[in-house]
Structure 1
């Protein structure tokens, strides 16, 4: 996983908001192709939630896809974007590894 690419993708306010909304289950799918237990959506779901064009949202999803933060599956006529649990777990692990054992800051308790 390219951590720079992941952080660059998450560094944009809209993309960060989309990822957090998916992780927290705040985007509910209207296309009928996303199961209730999946952390995913269709582009239409995002155009309904955010005041952006379909092409702009698709562009941002492409960046998240390229960074490995989301995966895309074709389901019938729909493209479904799903959170990549592997990437989220690796990101969590990496941040923990960076901060926990070697913190040299004055206020660090480790």
Structure 2
């Protein structure tokens, strides 16, 4: 019985050692790389680049707004021109009808 007990404890010890070594042999957890601190010149350069992009966006927005105003004004002028054409054609028809009535 004693021999059976010793064998069992030896197997248990070997199992625990195997698990322990397996845990130690696993890949280590990677250490996070600290972020690099930007230099003042690099920060200034990047901020100027971002400011330039903002300025370009503002200029683009102004062009879009001006273009929309011109389109709106153009449509108003086209509408006014069409109204003038209709009025002129009406006067021409009335004049032709009057002329034809006089000729009869």
Query: Shorter-chain TM-score category?
Result: under 0.3
Q: Which has the higher strand share?
A: 1
| TM-score computed with the length of structure 2 as normaliser | 0.23
| TM-score computed with the length of structure 1 as normaliser | 0.22
Q: Which has the higher contact order (CA 8 A, sep 6+)?
A: 1
**Structure number with bigger Rg:** 2
Q: Which has the higher helix share?
A: 2
